[in-house]
Structure 1
Amino acid sequence: MPSRRRFLAHSSALGLGALGGCVDALGSDRPTYTTPGTDGPPPPPEHHAFGSDGQWSSPGFDASNTRWDYRGSAPRDDARVRWRYPVQEGRAPTVSNGQVFVSAPGELVVLDAMEGEELWTAPTEPSWVGVPLVRNATAYVPVETDLRALDAVTGEELWSRSADERFTPPATVGGEELVVGNGEYVRALDAETGEERRSRRLYGTVNAPALGTTRSPTTTTQAGEVYVLERDGTGVWRRTLRASIEAPVTLGRDYAYVTEVDDTLRALDHGGETVWRAEGVADFRFGVAYTDAYVYAVDGSTLHALDSDSGEEHWAHHLGERAGVPAVVDDTVYVGGDRLHALDPEGTGERFSVDLGGRVGPDVSAGDGALYVPVTDDEGTDLVALETA
């Protein structure tokens, strides 16, 4: 890692600020940011490289937690507020079919994506509600030790499953089976009924699993374990890392990217061997955003752009305040902090930033041409939808 960094001095003006020359030229021969083919219709989720249905329908965008919506659209050069909605907690929502699914203590709130109007709510008493997965017109909502399936249009409960430990948000490829963490177990559930098809106990509390086109669950535990399982629940490999893990794993085309609590980011190959390791580049709570050329990670107030194959740091950008996890939509990297920042993916500069009156984050999601960002100030938190100005 370099010992010195050169940071751009940020504009002190409120509102939009066009900022340029914002990066450190750390690495040589920066790779070109590329996307898979976008001509024609996208492949169905069961054949998509990352298990994506083309919408931000899970906390990590797709089944592989890439946070990379390369076919999507969002404000690129400037932004204005489409609507604001008061919420109780600051996590970005999932978005599907023109609906925005907002988790809050004691309820799930569903909003119209264009108007921000409340469509329906599902009370959950004073319980923790996780960010839901939405597939095939069904919202799968973790509520403490319950996992509930709700009709995405009406909010009607379709089924509910209870356990002794808290459920993580589930993952799915094709929408037929849900893979979910539950205490020290990984469970595979029938998506239509909630019935358990199989389970496997691991060492340590399980974080949210990730799936690729093989549908083989890859998951981490808070005890510092990384597991890849066969679809029938048997083990493929297991690796013990030196530190605890809290963030979800991200699956790229070739490697699994794992963030440890000491802010170390690792790339593991298909056999579980460490291909590269970068220290002090990734916040242990949230994970990373993956693209074919780059892995984007935030540590403290700095956004790092690493080569996805080698781990070499190609550029870095100072955000001015402690930030969360980045997201990539089309050809723009978005990350919060004291403002919302929109950057060129190859590090040529900041396209715009916008002051929304509070701290932005910790995460960002997108859909229907808008970005959805939690904004927190002394009076509380709003979910803000931003569109092209």
Structure 2
Amino acid sequence: MDFELSAEHRMIRDQVREFAEEEIEPVAQELEDEHRFPAEIFDQLGELDMMGVPVSEEYGGLGGDQLMYALVTEELGRVSGGVGLSYAAHVSLGAKPIELFGTDEQKERWLRPLAEGDEMGAWALTEPESGSDASDMDTTAERDGDEYVLNGSKQFITNASEANSVLVKAVTDSDAGYGGISTFIVDPEDDGFEVTTIWDKMGLNCSPTCEIRLDDVRVPEDRLLGEEGEGWEQTMKTLDGGRISIAALSTGLAQGAYDAAESYADDREQFGKSITEFDAIRDKLVDMHRKTERARLLTHKAATLYDNGESVGQESSLAKLDASEAAREVAEDAVQVLGGYGYTEDFSPQRYYRDAKLMEIGEGTSEIQHLVIGRELGL
């Protein structure tokens, strides 16, 4: 095993780190306070060729691998969980499925502008009544000549209010169970598509989380992604990569929280010496570092196996489970290290703490990850 990143991977990581520290970190709290989606930041990421890192160059992407994408997502999460979340949803959920399952025409029309950073993408799976059982779906798509008519609602959809295309899961055959779910490329400008709610959340408020309604939305048959009935299989493959990206985002949150706590502890003096010299603080920082490194190793392992074409159901769930819990635990400890200052918005640990909690919920809760891993272990 080689734990050393290639020169190309280090170059991309360092480029994004520099951008994140210079352009995102100074305004990260302001974006949260204003609940504002930072379109200008994503425009700049597009100019850096980062909006389609794991998408082939043929369709406007960078042509990088999953590990490179994980590194970029981590660096964004290290300064802003909200920016990192919208980025991950755009790439893993909004763009990558079109490359994996789309026709050449769909890739040219819908994938290219996403990968080049000219448009934003979203993915609509969860429904108001479905929760963790995402296959329990009421949204339908009925064939009408050379069109499909979509009706239903989707809940907790990242980027929906900013997206130029949304990949919507809908039932095309109500008697076929998992095999009756299909995927459609929906343009938010289509008649009958409406964003009904943009949620105020505990954290991640510069990343819009929406409820959408589809009321007799007509889409031509060439907007069907893949074949009818392939939607659930596509979902499972998409989540393998998506969970790696959430693991990477979680690792970034943990790293950012650790950096804030370590920097503060170095400067803070009590009883005439730096608080890092006290066992309680030193041991806490060591544990924070340990958890962050463990999360990073699991994430990089899952990404590397993904890039090697291996099945990563267990590895992606394990990385997501561990990294998301590490993010919350490290962020909580960072608040504690800063004491009263950690509870104020003048310092970043409170933001990491609020942002980290969603990592244990989105793209499959921690409980679902235990279920997936248990099945993979034959338990």
Question: Same fold by TM-score, threshold 0.5 exceeded?
Answer: no
* Structure showing greater relative contact order (alpha-carbon pairs closer than 8 Å, 6 or more residues apart): 1
- Give the alignment's TM-score, normalised by structure 2: 0.29
Point out the structure with max Rg over C-alpha. Answer: 2
When you count strand as a share of all residues, which structure comes out higher?
1
